[in-house]
């Protein structure tokens, strides 16, 4: 489905009924990365997946991008869909956007799932890497970005043995427009440090990380779990950065358990590690 939000076209999917769960994808992918979550979880919940501005079937204007703007797009979409409160799942860049979203719209957040993400801002070196990647996107196009990103997103074993999954990720990356890739890179480089926010996140929070994730390693996930008052941590074995694609069953089970408890009105039981 497509709708006009903040002056551009935003594409999204809306499937199932019940407590809404909103999924925000990683850089530089799109909402189809959530296909297996949509399939399994829409049997019990209302699943909303969004192509963030710059991605998939949404417009990719050649202009200034910020994560706060993406959070505003998500909020406007929820207003159009008459959704007051939801569980939000963000993977990596999707998680960075959730920090921006929580700063502005905490009342909308019934529960947070922060997967493969981190609260720290970029280091000077990290910002420089973003700049270099934007130049590469401009000069060589999205295929060069896929070549750089795939080893950061998937484990070596996945890359060696799961050709269809690697192709799926490559196709998502190659489908992006350069304006969207460069816009995201600038937005991520400019994002603030969210560590001071962590102690103020009062909703139930599930943190997920792949044990082999090098982009946002388990130490980043543990830091969030330690500082968010009502958080629990799940480490998924055999997965790197894209846990939901590499280990969809484990990922879905974690979301299902978390959402089922929130739907019953319970606080997911106790902080801790699976």
Residues that bind ligand MLT (CB under 6 A): 26-27, 92-93, 188, 215, 241
**Token couple for 255:** 């979301």
Closer by beta carbon to ligand MLT, 82 or else 123: 123
What residue is closest to ligand MLT based on CB? 92
**Token couple for 132:** 């270099």
Sequence-ordered list of residues with C-beta below 8 angstroms from that of 191, at least 6 positions apart, any chain:
67, 96, 99, 100, 121, 122
Sign of CA dihedral 158, 120, 114, 143: negative
Least distance from ligand MLT to the Cβ atom of residue 122, Å: 7
Closer by beta carbon to ligand MLT, 27 or else 88: 27
Closer by beta carbon to ligand MLT, 108 or else 130: 130
Closer by beta carbon to ligand MLT, 169 or else 235: 169
Least distance from ligand MLT to the Cβ atom of residue 45, Å: 24
- The residue with tokens 């990290």 is 126
Least distance from ligand MLT to the Cβ atom of residue 39, Å: 22
Least distance from ligand MLT to the Cβ atom of residue 40, Å: 22
Closer by beta carbon to ligand MLT, 19 or else 89: 89
Least distance from ligand MLT to the Cβ atom of residue 26, Å: 3
**Token couple for 163:** 């050709």
**Backbone φ and ψ of 43, nearest 5°:** -70, -25
- Distance between the two ends of the chain, CA-based, in angstroms? 36
Sequence-ordered list of residues with C-beta below 8 angstroms from that of 125, at least 6 positions apart, any chain:
none
Least distance from ligand MLT to the Cβ atom of residue 264, Å: 32
Closer by beta carbon to ligand MLT, 46 or else 118: 118
Q: At what angle do helices 178-189 and 93-105 cross, to 10 degrees?
A: 60
CB contact at 8 A, 57 and 2: yes
């Amino acid at each position: 489905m497509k709708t006009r939000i903040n002056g551009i076209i935003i594409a999204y999917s809306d499937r199932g009924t019940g407590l809404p769960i909103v999924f925000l994808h990683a850089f530089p992918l799109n909402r189809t990365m959530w296909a297996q979550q949509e399939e399994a979880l829409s049997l019990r919940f209302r699943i909303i997946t969004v192509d963030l501005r710059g991605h998939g079937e949404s417009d990719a204007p050649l202009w200034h991008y910020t994560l706060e703007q993406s959070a505003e797009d998500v909020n406007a979409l929820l207003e159009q869909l008459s959704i007051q409160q939801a569980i939000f799942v963000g993977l990596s860049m999707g998680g960075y956007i959730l920090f921006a979203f929580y700063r502005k719209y905490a009342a909308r957040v019934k529960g947070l799932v922060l997967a493969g993400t981190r609260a720290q801002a970029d280091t000077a070196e990290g910002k420089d890497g973003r700049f270099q990647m934007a130049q590469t996107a401009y000069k060589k196009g999205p295929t060069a970005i896929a070549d750089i990103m795939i080893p950061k997103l998937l484990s070596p074993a996945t890359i060696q043995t799961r050709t269809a999954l690697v192709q799926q990720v490559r196709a998502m990356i190659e489908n992006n427009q350069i304006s969207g890739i460069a816009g995201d890179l600038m937005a991520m480089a400019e994002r603030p440090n969210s560590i001071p926010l962590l102690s103020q996140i009062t909703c139930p929070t599930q943190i997920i990380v792949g044990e082999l994730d090098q982009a946002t390693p388990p130490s980043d996930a543990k830091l969030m779990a330690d500082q968010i008052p009502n958080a629990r941590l799940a480490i998924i074995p055999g997965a790197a950065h894209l846990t939901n694609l590499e280990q969809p069953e484990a990922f879905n089970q974690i979301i299902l358990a978390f959402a089922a408890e929130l739907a019953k009105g319970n606080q997911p039981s106790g902080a801790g590690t699976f």
